[in-house]
Chain A
Amino acid sequence: MYWLGRYIARVEATLYEINKAYDLIIDVDKDAGVKLYKKFEIDLEYTNAIDFLDKSIRGDHSANLSTILQNARENAIISREYIDELAFGEIIALNEMAQRTSKSDLRVDYQDIDYALSLISEIWGAQTKRGHRKAGDYFLRLGKLVEEVDFRLRFNRKQAMTELILEEINATFKLLNPEINIKASDNDDIMGDIYRQMDKLIVVD
């Protein structure tokens, strides 16, 4: 459930960044997509804005969204009993869309991105509406929040909001294990700290 949350949040955050870069590539900065993928340590080549969409979504690289979504689908199947039915269905639909797009002769366009983002919103919505919370829900939430922190650190986003998310992570950790706490301030290895705490939480010796 933790990794499912991470995969979906990763796809969501990446799609938002792709949208921004797409708009810049059109007539502001042709290299906006190159710069974006440098942050993922990937050298991306494209000819124009539409080609960028295509390459970013189904190119032969590690941030290829269809690969991430295949992983998400596997996790969803394994964790099916913990997932809201509607959310599960949306995950399957999201992966199907990604796989269909990756094999299609048609190019990826803004509609595919809008559709994917809409499905992701439905996944989060369906999963949060559940009245009776199980531990699995908190792990999904942890995955989502951790991925958000990871993105914010990679993109040097405002620390105040990052700290707020870390507070949420801590609150979620505490529900699962009251002894765990991530220190946000004066911490130059936040992700390392999170991973160590995650290990305490889920790795059984």
Chain B
Amino acid sequence: MLEKPTDLHDKFWEIFSKQDRQKIDEFKSYMDKFAVNFNLYKDGNFIEQSLPFDVIPRIISKQEFNKIEKGLIQRVTALNLFLEDLYTDAKIVKDGIIPQEFIDSASGYLKEFVGFSPSKKIRAHINGIDLVKDSKNNEWVILEDNLRVPSGASYPLSIRDTYRKIYPDFFEEMKIEPIKNYPKIITDAMNYVNTGGINVVLTPGRFNSAYYEHSYLAQKSGAHLVRAHELVVIDKKVYFKNYDGQKILVGSIYRRLDDEFIDPKFFNPESLIGVPGLIEAYLAGNVALMNAIGNGVADDKGIYYFVPKMIKYYLGEEPILQNAPTYLPYFEEDMDYVMNNIEKLVIKDVAEAGGYGVLFGHNMSTIQLEDLKMMIKANPRRFIAQELIEFYDEKCYLEGSLQDRKADFRAYVVAGEDVKVWNCGLTRYALEEGNYLVNSSQGGGFKDTWVMEL
């Protein structure tokens, strides 16, 4: 189902209709030239591929975006307060808002870091918050918080550059919010938490699915793109070894690898992409890590259920943006509901990400549903259940014609001196008609998002 067109959509189609259709091919070949890749590992094989994209942008009015912005600032502020509280005093647990057992069983919760406060007490610096617009009430709903290593911001930046070259008319005739400031927002946040030294982007290397993004953001933000072997820890300080062997002190690391692999001395000893001793330097307060270690607890799908409660607890405010209606089988009442309504619910494995471990009750056979029920009963903490949100489709120009596809929206929220919401985001659309999974790792494509007014 498509959203009711607004004046903004009408204006877009008016200008679009005057454009030569040949330009769409030009657009595609121009984008291909830049190898805007999101690589995949499938059946043990590394597949280097461009991320599919669509030429028709998602349009969000400035007024509507202002509300999203307020809601996201509120949410990320609360999530940062939660993380800092959880790893220091844990008042939210002591006050009974979140059960201790829920925290202890969250795979992203790292007890070893209790009592440690990172630079400026900010933990979730770069956040990707996934939203959809519910067609039933026309409201934006939060589906997920990604507070570890969210990717995707470089894709709209790339497609916008292409758009401006090929279709300047849109930007001349409509007031579309500029988006080039994203690398600057990241740089400002890195500078704010920097403990003294240069900024670097730490990448696992060219075989990571988002390596394109790592190099793009490093180039645009002015930070050095480094791999683990280019960093060395001496006396609990991190240094970048440059081309002539000179060691340059590092004050802030925008790390693009998971906790588990970041330091083989502290976490997985088999990690070849981590920096030995990095955690010692971090715990000594000699380097800032963006995002902080241990954030996985806050984007655990089970903890997601408690975010509206966190907002009330820490900020004394009602949430501006709502969660999708969510049930925790951990609670008896919710377990009953899930067991009785499983065929109409979406079941998510809390340990999975990227669209993996998501099951749609309506797509499953009776036997499959019974198996799933047994699994949920056996391990209720492992799953959450959500009402299926009938979110809007977006028009996409695919294979020579306009087609409707389900689309979500990942907003980027950066916490530095202030919490800032980027005036754009990653709109991801599903590969097939009627599919609800839009994740890039599930083959979904992306399109530009225009926050605009007439």
CA of A76 to CA of B319, assembled, Å: 70
B171 interface hit (Cβ, 8 Å): yes
A27-B176, A27-B178 given as contacts; is B26 within 8 A of A48 (CB)?
no
Q: Does B172 contact A (CB under 8 A)?
A: yes
Asked whether A27 and B26 contact (CB < 8 A) given A110-B165, A110-B166, the answer is no
Most B Cβ at <10 Å: residue of A23, A27, A28: A27
- A22 CB, min distance to chain B CBs, angstroms: 8
B245 contacts the other chain (Cβ, under 8 Å)? no
- Shortest beta-carbon distance from A171 to chain B in Å: 22
Q: C-beta contact mask, B410-430 vs A, less than 8 Å → 1, else 0?
A: 000000000000000000000
B168 at interface by CB-CB < 8 Å: yes
Main secondary structure of the interface of A (DSSP, over half): helix
Taking the nearest CB of chain A, how far is it from the CB of B454, in angstroms? 14
Annotate B172-204 by CB proximity to A: 1 below 8 A, 0 otherwise: 100110100000000000000000000000000
Please state if A26 and B172 are interface contacts (CB–CB under 8 Å). yes
B229 CB–A CB distance under 8 Å: no
Q: Which residue of A lies closest to B165 (CB)?
A: A110
Residue B206, interface by CB 8 Å: no
Number of B residues, CB within 8 Å of A: 11
Residue of B nearest to A27 (CB): B171
> Could you tell me if B26 and A49 are in contact, using CB atoms closer than 8 angstroms?
no
Contact A50 B26 (CB under 8 A): no
Residues of A within 8 A of B178 (CB): 27-28
* Contact across chains for A49 and B172 when beta carbons are under 8 A apart: yes
Cβ of A26 and Cβ of B164 under 8 Å apart? Answer: yes
User: What residues of A have a CB within 8 angstroms of the CB of B165 in the complex?
Assistant: 110
Contact, CB under 8 Å: B26 / A26:
no
A185 is an interface residue with CB less than 8 A from chain B: no
The complex places the Cα of A27 from the Cα of B165 at a distance, in Å, of 12
Residues of A within 8 A of B (CB): 22-23, 26-28, 48-50, 110-111
Q: A26-B164, A110-B166 are in contact. List 10 more A-B contacts (CB 8 A).
A: A22-B168, A23-B164, A27-B172, A27-B176, A28-B178, A48-B168, A48-B172, A49-B172, A50-B168, A111-B26
> Can you offer 12 A-B residue contacts whose CB atoms are under 8 A?
A22-B168, A23-B164, A26-B171, A27-B171, A28-B178, A48-B168, A48-B169, A48-B172, A50-B168, A50-B169, A110-B165, A111-B26
